[in-house]
Amino acid sequence: MEATRVAVFARKGGAGKTALTALLGRELVRQGQRVLVVDLDPQVVSVSTAFGIDTNTTLPFTPVDLIAGPECRPFDPARVIPGKLDVVPGNQEQVAILEHALYELHKRVRAAAGHGARPRRAILDARLAAVELDYHFILLDCPTALGEVTSNAIEAADLILSPIDMKYRANVLSVTDLLQHVGAIEGVPEIMFVANKWAQRERQCRLALVDAQRLCGARLFGTMVPECTAIPVSLAEHRDVRATSELAAQVTEAVWRLGQAVIDFSKRSERPAARAAAGGEE
């Protein structure tokens, strides 16, 4: 069985991408799915630290090792919930290394393809294909920059999940950047936008929602994720959000619905031929 790959990406920093990755990963496990999370955007506060991994120590297996392939180091993710949730963690030392490694690999492929050719960025696709049979879902937490790392993740994905920071109306314009970038990819993955940090009483949020509905159309997930202090607390304590207040209960319901939507997507989707084809960049 092929895992469904979900690239979690936002063109604007601070949209809640990392929090959404962590919440969705735990929710999918709660709904009986086996999940692998790959931290492609290691920061001081990252999806790795949200799962309780100390990224200040030497990590036995990172995305750099994943890209290098099994001939360099056997696949050995961190077992956060044994048999249910694994993480390929990263730290800040990995950022430049990973971007450079993918750039050099793709440069070699372009040279081999000849002048004028536009080969796919397929190295991450190939590496995930070698390990995905143990999982139902692979979540890729991507950098905000549209560099080699993000481009590889997007081209490997079946679904792009993109949170929109609803606090300011101008944030919604980041949707256009993503749609233009993805539109140029062969075998375009589906996109689901999520209205995040929603506050009904705030006028900017209400205006942002109108713009998001206009720009995203049917791609906008029907349930908003409220802004709530329970989210950073849950990340800091490496656990699910607890419905200890009405607002926290709204968060848990929104995340449950998002998990359901992602599972429903996996049941009805088929991996585009361009990404399902055998082989990849070497």
Q: Where are the domains of the chain?
A: 4-269
- pLDDT tens sequence across 125-173: 999 999 999 999 999 999 988 888 998 999 999 999 999 999 988 889 8
Contact 6, 158 (CB under 8 A): yes
For residue 200 the two structure tokens come to: 């009904």
For residues 173 and 166, give the distance between their C-alpha atoms in angstroms, rounded to a whole number.
11
| φ, ψ dihedrals at 227, nearest 5° | -75, 130
- pLDDT tens sequence across 36-79: 999 999 776 789 999 999 988 889 899 999 999 888 889 999 99
For residues 267 and 270, give the distance between their C-alpha atoms in angstroms, rounded to a whole number.
8
For residues 271 and 117, give the distance between their C-alpha atoms in angstroms, rounded to a whole number.
24
Strand order in the sheet with 137-141: 78-81, 85-88, 35-39, 137-141, 4-8, 159-165, 190-198, 225-226
Does domain 4-269 bear CATH number 3.40.50.300?
yes
User: Quick check: 223 pLDDT over 50?
Assistant: yes
